[in-house]
Structure 1
C-alpha cells in the first residue's frame, strides 16, 4: 500500500519527466512534506530544479559522495571545500544517484531532520532517478523527432494514413490551402501550389511538394566546389541546360563548359544526369 504522500510525489515525478519545468513543483511538494526550507536537484551539468525557483550552484564536495547513501550536515561540513556552503548552518540531507548522476539536497534553516526523513529520502531516490532518466529519454526522442520532421519538410514529403496526416502532410496541406485528398492506390493527382498526391498500395497517401535545391553556398560546402561552380551545379541540378544555365549566370559558353568539367571531376559524376542524381538523391538535397 503506497502512502498518500508518496503517491503525490510519484505522480509529481511522472509530471516532471514529461515537462522539465515540473521539477520545481515536485521539489516544492517534497519540501512541504518534509518541512524543509529548500530542496534542490542537480544532474551532472545543471540544476534540474529548486523548490524556491533559485539555481544554487552544486557544491564541489557532492562529487565525492557515494551513491545511495544519505549524508547529514556534519558529514557534509567535514567534506566541504573552501568554496562550498557552510553546512553547519541549519540542517541538510544529501543523497546521490549514479545512473544518471544526480544529487538531491534538502536544507532546513530551522529544526533538524529525523532518521525517518533520511530513510524516506533513500527510498524515494531510485524513483527520482528513474523519472529523470525517462525525462532525458523523452527529450532525446523529441529532439530526434524534430530533426526527422525538419528533414521530411525539407524534402517536401508527407504521408496521410488511417489516423490522418502526419506533421509534414498537415503543414503542406495547410500552407497550400488544399483540402485532404482522396486518392486511389496507384493514382497520381496534382493538388494545388505544386503539391501532388500519390496513392500507395497499403492505402496511405504520399504528398510531394516541389522543392528547390539548397543555396549555392551549401552546395559548395557539401561538394567541395567553388561558389561559382556551385551556382552552375545548382542550375544544372534544377534541370537547366548547360547553355541556358551559363547564360543565366552571366558566363560565356567556354567558361560554363570549363566549370562543368570541374564540377564533374570534383564530384565524380559523368555528366549532368549523374549530377542531378547526386544532388537530389543524397543528403545534399536536405540542405
Structure 2
C-alpha cells in the first residue's frame, strides 16, 4: 500500500527527524497515535545478540506500563522473547495470535486489556537483524481497523531505514567522541583546514588554548589569526598541496613561538562525494599536571604521597634542589626520596623517570 502525500508529510518527516528529538520518535509516534486513534503506540528496540539484551521502549499516549504496574497487571508487551522473534518482518499481527495455542493465557490477556481500557492491538516487526531488532506496537480502545494494519505495514520499511540511519550515525558520533576524548586526555589538540587555509573545524581544547594565548577566537570559515608569518606560509602551501594530493607525507610547522608548540600537518581524505579533503594540524598542547596526577602515581606504583609528589616535580623539569625547596624538604631528604623512587619504579636516572611519568596516566589530563 502506497502512502498518501499527507501521510508522508505528517509521519515520514518527523520520523526522519527523530534523531534530533529527546526523547526520540516522540513526534512521529504521537502523530501515528492520533492518525490511528490509538491509546498507545510504541517502538520496541532491542540491540545486542545476548539472551539478556535489554529492550528500549519509545512510546506515545498513555503509559500502559505504569498503569499495568499500579494495577498489579503484568506488562502486556513483556512477552517471551521467542514470541517476538517468531514474527515475520513486515507482516502485521494481532498480539493474541502469538498466544492462540494457550486458551488460558488468551483469556487472561483479554481480561487484563479490558482492565486497562483496551479492546485490540497490533504489532509489526520492523527490523530483524542479527543484533538489531525492532517492533512497532499499537493498542486501541476499540477494535483495530483494516486501515490501521495497512498503515503499519506501509510504514515498516521507512521506519527500518530511519532506524538503520540513526544507528549508523549514533555509532559514528560515539566513535568521534571516543577519539576526541582520547586526544584531549593525551594532551593533544587538532585543527582542520580547507584548501585556502581557512579553518574548517577545531577541537575544544585547542580552541581554549589558542584563545588563552591572547589570540582572537578561532572561527570556522575564517583564517587562524595569530600565526607567525612563516607558519601562515607553511600552512597555506601545505593545505593547497595536501588537498590536491592526499598521499603526501606529513609536514611539520611551528604553530606557536611562545609557548613553543610544533604541529604536524597531514592530509585528511574525503569519504563521500560531497565531502572536501582537508588538512589536519595535530599538536601536543603545553601540559600542566592533572590534579589527580599524584594520586595516579600512588595507585599505579604504590608510592607514598610525598614520593609521588617529588616524582612529579622532577618530571616537570625541576632539579632536586628546586623540588626540595618547593616541597619544604631538605636537599638530603629529597635525594633519599629520589633514590627510593628510582628503585621502586625500576628507572636508573631522571630521564627515564620523566619518560615513565609522562607516558603513564599521571601525564594525562
* TM-score of the two chains, using structure 2 as the length reference: 0.64
- Out of 148, 159, 171, the residue aligned to residue 208 of structure 2 is 171
- Out of 78, 94, 101, the residue aligned to residue 123 of structure 2 is 94
Report the more deviating stretch, 271-280 or 182-191: 182-191
Note the residue ranges of structure 1 that are not aligned, 5 or more in a row: none
Query: In 2, Cα distance between the equivalents of 1:220 and 1:87?
Result: 60
Local SS of the residue matching 2:79: helix
8 A Cα contact 1:60 1:80, kept in partner: no
- Out of 292, 299, 312, the residue aligned to residue 234 of structure 1 is 312
8 A Cα contact 2:44 2:56, kept in partner: yes
State the partner residue of 1:49: 58
Query: In 2, Cα distance between the equivalents of 1:81 and 1:265?
Result: 76
- Confirm whether residue 4 of structure 1 aligns to residue 41 of structure 2: no
Local SS of the residue matching 2:17: helix
- Confirm whether residue 25 of structure 1 aligns to residue 27 of structure 2: yes
Q: How far is the alpha carbon of 1:73 from its aligned partner?
A: 4.8
Note the residue ranges of structure 2 that are not aligned, 5 or more in a row: 47-53, 67-74, 217-224, 235-251, 268-278
Local SS of the residue matching 1:60: coil
Q: How far is the alpha carbon of 1:276 from its aligned partner?
A: 1.6
- Out of 150, 167, 178, the residue aligned to residue 136 of structure 1 is 167
State the partner residue of 1:285: 363
Report how many aligned residue pairs link the two structures.
285
Q: How far is the alpha carbon of 1:76 from its aligned partner?
A: 5.9
Query: In 2, Cα distance between the equivalents of 1:266 and 1:133?
Result: 53
Question: How do residues 39-188 of structure 1 correspond to structure 2 at under 5 angstroms?
Answer: 39-44=41-46, 45=54, 47-52=56-61, 54=63, 56=65, 59-61=77-79, 63=81, 64-65=83-84, 66-67=86-87, 68=89, 69-75=91-97, 86-88=112-114, 89-96=118-125, 97-99=127-129, 100-109=132-141, 111-154=142-185, 155-162=187-194, 163-164=198-199, 165-168=201-204, 169-179=206-216, 180-182=225-227, 183=231, 184-185=233-234, 187-188=253-254
Q: 1:231 to 1:129 in 2, by over 3 A?
A: farther
Q: 1:54 to 1:133 in 2, by over 3 A?
A: farther
